[in-house]
Amino acid sequence: MTILDKSAQLTRKDRGRHADRLFWALCVSAGFAVLVILALILITMVKQAYPAFSADFFTSSTWIPNDPDGDGPGKPVYGTLAFLYGTLVVSAIAVIVAVPVSVGIALFLTELAPRRIRTAIVTLIDLLAAVPSVVFGLWGILVVAPALGPVYTWLHDVLGGIPVLGSLFGEPRSSGRTFMTAGLILAIMIVPIITSIAREVFATVPDSDKQAAWALGATRWEMIKGAVLPHSFGGVVGAVILGLGRAMGETIAVALVIGSSVQITANLFESGYALPAIIVDQWGESTGVFTSALIGMGVVLFVITVLVNLVARFVVRRAEIRMRGAAA
Amino acid sequence: MTTTATRPAAAAAPVPADLRRSALPLRRRLTDGFSKSLMGLALLVALIPLGLVIFHVTSRGIALISWDFLIEDIPNSARRAGGGMGPAVAGTLVITGAAAAMAIPLGVLGSIYLNEYGKQNALARLIRTMADVMTGVPSVVMGLFIYVSYVLVVKEQSGFAAALALGCLMLPVIIRSSEEMLRLVPDELRQASAALGARRWKTTVSVVLPAAISGIVSGVMLAIARAAGETAPVVLVAGTIFSSNWSLDGANTTLAAQIFKNAGEPFPAAQDRAWGAALTLMVIVLLFTVAARMISSRFAIKER
């Protein structure tokens, strides 16, 4: 009788209660770690970068970190505009090149490819994502940049006379280390990201919509145009913004192939600089306020990428909700 | 269309619609074919660089690879030929290992919170969003963060600092991928365990985790592969050395950092070393990636 009673005691007061609380606390604090790290990033870095934040920091494109021997303006100038410009240009090139390619691959995978080769292609795209960025950088600086030099010269000769294109495709740098090269290398690196999200988005298109298009006698392309694309527009936009965020933060490959010169020019065949690139490039030789300025650029980069990511998540989520509404 | 019109015998009876492909107007057929070939072309455009990278790294790195290359010290002048990548191999293993040792427990526990406790409450949703945001934080920013909050405090660049930075980069990836895997575990398992009188933590540790373990392991291995190739944080916080350092204290270096350093040098000897290091790194990363894929495909079969 007593034994039975004991075994049926299902109150919360028995052994193991403390273990349960402890395990819960462990898990919650692990979850909190994410929030704590993000908060610490912002606080500690802003504090460290504070001495470098001045009016020049955001408005000037003059970068004289160590005033050499008094022949400069007398004191160091930390203007980051040229780097911000380079980051924007390079990521814009990357996105413009990568988006059609990724959307094409995603459509190929979801709508065209037979099941058997689908897995193989997904593996290959994953492989592309697995190649470390520094390897792309090495390949970019030693193989791609020298190979693209003559191509740029040819493009400049052909298109140089046309008004707008002429200023974009100006006199090329012979080393081939240019905005364009950096943008192209970046494009390769963000293709897997955009592809995988676009693929997920396309997979959520309700089958009934597609069947309806088939039943109306649509060709495959007409089915894609009429049923798949309108349905997934929001999601694809989100994917593109995510890719943009990744492109802006990519450091090493860009640092190697962008050519490292501080200037703002419309000429895509010129050398430039990007925010993350200058941080790793000049880190070793920096001291004092110079270091603070580099950390300040890290803060700018952090804020931009966090905002871009938040916007992307928001867009994707809204698109998802709308899709679920349509499917119901 | 034209074929049906030229069939006079069937004029009286209702003509079945011609559904053959050739019956489509030429314009529609061409658009269709054109768009399909564009999709194929897109695939080609992405796969050609992949093939070229693998080809160049293999063909230029293979000559360098030998046992000596993997264990010998790095020459302290980039100009000099010979030497190896021993310190970088050691550093990659030590630093990535330490980062994994920090990030895996934290990440898995965090994912348990998200999927087993928090579910859809406000805190869990916030953590989920922030983990996604943290995935997007550039690695160079993570390096700066560790420099500011750790290196400046202890006043020494070290392998441990690099491990901290890589750990921070791995954490959100592990949290999100493990959470996906935990979500796949059917609720019946949890209910059965609860019905047997097991506590929540006991259920989680001895029923839910084992059920999801292969998926979690595969996610973790992908995160490790990514972290092993991260360069910027290591360049910022690990310092410089030329001989192997198997401890977390003191300066260290990794393969990725050495590739970056040597790729920018004008000397052929340095560039060769960079290719050799790149091949070594690629092999390590690909081994982890392939192993992760194999483990996760096994898991998928079990799910079915």
Nearest-by-Cβ selection for B50 from A101, A127, A224: A127
Q: Is A190 domain-assigned?
A: yes
**Which CATH number characterizes residue B153's domain?**
1.10.3720.10
Least confident stretch, A70-84, A86-100, A157-171, B89-103: A70-84
- What is the C-alpha to C-alpha distance for residues A55 and A59, in angstroms, rounded to an integer? 6
pLDDT at B304: 39
Chain A interface mutation, best of B21, B135, B148, highest count of A Cβ atoms under 10 Å:
B148
Complex-level ipTM: 0.88
Is the pLDDT reported for residue A68 higher than 50? yes
- What is the C-alpha to C-alpha distance for residues A28 and A219, in angstroms, rounded to an integer? 52
Task: Please give the residue of chain A at the shortest CA–CA distance from B43.
Answer: A105
pLDDT tens-place string over residues B181-232: 999 999 999 999 999 988 889 999 999 999 999 889 999 999 999 999 999 9
Task: Please give the residue of chain A at the shortest CA–CA distance from B176.
Answer: A31
- Domain containing B129 equals 88-259+270-303
Q: How many domains does chain B fold into?
A: 1
* Residues of chain A contacting B138 with CB distance shorter than 8 Å: 248-251, 276, 301-302, 305
If you average pLDDT over residues B55-82, what whole number do you get?
Answer: 86
pTM of the full predicted structure? 0.88
* Mean pLDDT over each residue of chain B, to the nearest integer: 88
Query: Would an 8 Å CB–CB cutoff place A42 in contact with chain B?
Result: no
Asked if A219 lies within 8 A of B148 by C-beta distance, the reply is no
Residue B171 or B8, more confident: B171
Q: Cα distance from A162 to chain B (closest Cα, Å)? A: 28
Q: Is B175 domain-assigned?
A: yes
Residue B255: name the closest of B291, B290, B280, B222 by CA: B280
Tokens of B146: 């560790």
Q: Cα distance from A227 to chain B (closest Cα, Å)? A: 15
pLDDT at A2: 46
Is the pLDDT reported for residue A4 higher than 70? no
Q: Is B21 domain-assigned?
A: no
Q: Is A288 domain-assigned?
A: yes
Nearest-by-Cβ selection for A20 from B49, B123, B199: B199
pLDDT at A298: 93
If you average pLDDT over residues B20-26, what whole number do you get?
Answer: 80
Is the pLDDT reported for residue B179 higher than 90? yes
Q: Are A85 and A264 in contact (CB under 8 A)?
A: yes
Q: Is A57 domain-assigned?
A: no
- What is the C-alpha to C-alpha distance for residues B263 and B276, in angstroms, rounded to an integer? 11
pLDDT tens-place string over residues A104-135: 999 999 988 888 899 899 989 988 999 999 99
Residue A64 pairs with which residues in a beta bridge?
A77
pLDDT at B89: 92
pLDDT at A15: 65
* Residues of chain B contacting A138 with CB distance shorter than 8 Å: 57, 259, 263, 274-275, 278
pLDDT at A322: 73
pLDDT tens-place string over residues B232-274: 999 999 988 888 888 888 899 999 999 999 998 888 889 999 9
Asked if B229 lies within 8 A of A135 by C-beta distance, the reply is yes
pLDDT at A72: 52
| Chain-centroid distance, C-alpha A190 | 7
Asked if A27 lies within 8 A of B116 by C-beta distance, the reply is yes
- What is the C-alpha to C-alpha distance for residues B267 and B271, in angstroms, rounded to an integer? 6
* Residues of chain B contacting A313 with CB distance shorter than 8 Å: 129, 132-133
Is the pLDDT reported for residue A74 higher than 70? no
pLDDT at A137: 94
* Mean pLDDT over each residue of chain A, to the nearest integer: 86
Nearest-by-Cβ selection for A34 from B172, B226, B285: B172
Chain A, chain B: beta-carbon pairs less than 8 Å apart: 273
**Which CATH number characterizes residue A121's domain?**
1.10.3720.10
- What is the C-alpha to C-alpha distance for residues A59 and B128, in angstroms, rounded to an integer? 36
Residue B49 or B243, more confident: B49
Is the pLDDT reported for residue A326 higher than 70? no
Q: What percentage of chain B exceeds 90 in pLDDT? A: 62
Q: List the alpha helices (DSSP H) in chain B.
A: 2-5, 26-61, 67-71, 86-112, 122-135, 139-146, 152-154, 159-184, 187-195, 200-203, 209-228, 232-237, 255-263, 268-303
Q: Cα distance from A246 to chain B (closest Cα, Å)? A: 6
Q: CB neighbours (10 Å) of residue B177?
A: 21
Residue A98: name the closest of A258, A239, A203 by CA: A239
pLDDT at A10: 56
pLDDT at A317: 81
Least confident stretch, A76-90, A140-154, B157-171, B290-304: B290-304
Nearest-by-Cβ selection for A34 from B36, B131, B274: B131
Task: Please give the residue of chain B at the shortest CA–CA distance from A98.
Answer: B46
Q: Is A61 domain-assigned?
A: no
Is the pLDDT reported for residue B2 higher than 80? no
Q: Is B41 domain-assigned?
A: no
Q: Quote the Cα angle for B111-B113-B119, to 5°.
A: 100
Q: Is A94 domain-assigned?
A: yes
Query: Would an 8 Å CB–CB cutoff place A65 in contact with chain B?
Result: no
* Residues of chain B contacting A283 with CB distance shorter than 8 Å: 235-236
Q: Cα distance from B12 to chain A (closest Cα, Å)? A: 25
- Domain containing A286 equals 75-327
* Residues of chain A contacting B34 with CB distance shorter than 8 Å: 221
Task: Please give the residue of chain A at the shortest CA–CA distance from B115.
Answer: A27
Asked if A306 lies within 8 A of B137 by C-beta distance, the reply is yes
pLDDT at A8: 52
Query: Would an 8 Å CB–CB cutoff place A46 in contact with chain B?
Result: no
Q: Is A99 domain-assigned?
A: yes
φ and ψ at A110, to 5 degrees? -85, -30
Task: Please give the residue of chain A at the shortest CA–CA distance from B24.
Answer: A219
* Residues of chain B contacting A195 with CB distance shorter than 8 Å: 46
pLDDT tens-place string over residues A46-63: 999 888 888 778 888 888
Q: Is A45 domain-assigned?
A: no
Asked if A139 lies within 8 A of B286 by C-beta distance, the reply is no
User: CA of B71: how far to CAs of B67, B83, B227, in Å?
Assistant: 7, 9, 22
pLDDT at B301: 45
Q: Is A39 domain-assigned?
A: no
pLDDT tens-place string over residues A9-28: 555 555 667 888 899 999 99
Nearest-by-Cβ selection for B148 from A33, A35, A45: A45
Q: Are A48 and A295 in contact (CB under 8 A)?
A: yes
Asked if B133 lies within 8 A of A310 by C-beta distance, the reply is yes
pLDDT band at B142 (very low <50, low <70, confident <90, very high): very high
Relative orientation angle of helices B255-263 and B268-303, to the nearest 10 degrees: 140
Asked if A31 lies within 8 A of B275 by C-beta distance, the reply is no
Is the pLDDT reported for residue B151 higher than 50? yes
A positions 115-134 inside 8 Å of B (CB): 121, 123-128, 130-134
Chain A interface mutation, best of B53, B174, B253, highest count of A Cβ atoms under 10 Å:
B53
Q: Cα distance from B6 to chain A (closest Cα, Å)? A: 22
pLDDT at B1: 44
pLDDT at B183: 92
Q: Quote the Cα angle for B239-B131-A18, to 5°.
A: 100
Q: What percentage of chain B exceeds 70 in pLDDT? A: 93
Relative orientation angle of helices A229-249 and B139-146, to the nearest 10 degrees: 40
pLDDT at A223: 93
pLDDT at A85: 93
Q: What percentage of chain A exceeds 70 in pLDDT? A: 91
